[in-house]
Amino acid sequence: MVKNNAGLCTFDPNAPCSTCGNKGEIFCKPDENKVIVSHLLEGSFIIMAILGTGLTSILLRNVWPVLTFSIFSALFFLVIQPRITCSHCPYYAEDRFFLHCTENHFSPKIWRYHPEPITKWEKIGTVIGFAFLGAYPLLVELYGVYTFWIDYSDLVSLLGVIGVFIGTLLTLVLFYVIFFLLYCPHCVNFSCVFNKVPEKYIQRYLERNPVIKQAWGKQQNNK
């Protein structure tokens, strides 16, 4: 088990960042502005999805649509994703209880830090998790639109239900597009299935952080 900051340059205030070739290329230092943007993106989608699945629950007179999404979202962001994805990120090595990174900020660190690369099964779990997170509320809300269209004749209310669905879809697209295009190409969780950082920056970061480099080497030797 690697304790505390594991000697990583990410948390070293004396690290020679000004002379590092990775400066401006990867998100290797905490940035409050990026944290704010990521939470606005995630929060907007979650709020719209809960509103949409909640409205569908009211139409169906069944609490399970909104309850399922709410429980899964909480488990995914607070328990599942931190283990299969975040625990492999350098930010997870920081000596504090809550994660302090540019993306999944403020989730409790209930797992130990894993400097080794993410496994194939963890990558599959990450993809499935994000796919369900996006697809479930949209499918539920579509069913809600269909039910409302069949059972009610109020055009204004129908347009309102459709509007909530469109709002959920737009916030989801914005959330995923911004992350995949602007965050993933610079994220220091290099082994994540969505990571797009060029190999030269990865190797440069590994050279500056022997703890991670050693863990990566051991996992490759064990294959």
Per residue in 132-162, pLDDT (tens digit) is: 999 999 999 999 888 888 776 677 777 888 9
Angle at 142 between CA 139 and CA 143, to 5 degrees: 90
Question: How many structural domains are present in the chain?
Answer: 1
pTM passes above 0.85: yes
pLDDT tens track for 40-74: 999 999 999 999 999 999 888 899 999 999 999 99
β-strand partners of 159 = none
Q: How far apart are CA 202 and CA 77, in angstroms?
A: 26
Residue 14 lies in a domain: no
Give the pLDDT band of residue 219 (cuts 50, 70, 90). low
Residue 69 lies in a domain: yes
Listed residue (81, 80, 58, 57) closest to 68, CA to CA: 57
Largest Cα span, the chain: 67
Q: Domain range for residue 44?
A: 31-221
Give the pLDDT band of residue 90 (cuts 50, 70, 90). very high
Residue 118 lies in a domain: yes
Q: How far apart are CA 67 and CA 210, in angstroms?
A: 44
Residue 10 lies in a domain: no
Contact criterion met (CB below 8 Å) for 91 and 10: yes
When pLDDT is averaged across residues 25-49 and rounded to a whole number, the result is 89
pLDDT at position 12: 83
| pLDDT > 70 fraction of the chain, expressed in percent and rounded | 93
* Mean model confidence pLDDT for the chain: 88
pLDDT tens track for 190-214: 999 999 999 999 999 999 999 898 9
Angle at 137 between CA 135 and CA 143, to 5 degrees: 100
Tell me which residue has tokens 């809600």: 144
Contact criterion met (CB below 8 Å) for 22 and 186: no
pLDDT at position 150: 79
Residue 17 lies in a domain: no
Residue 210 lies in a domain: yes
Residue 23 lies in a domain: no
Residue 58 lies in a domain: yes
Q: How far apart are CA 160 and CA 5, in angstroms?
A: 49
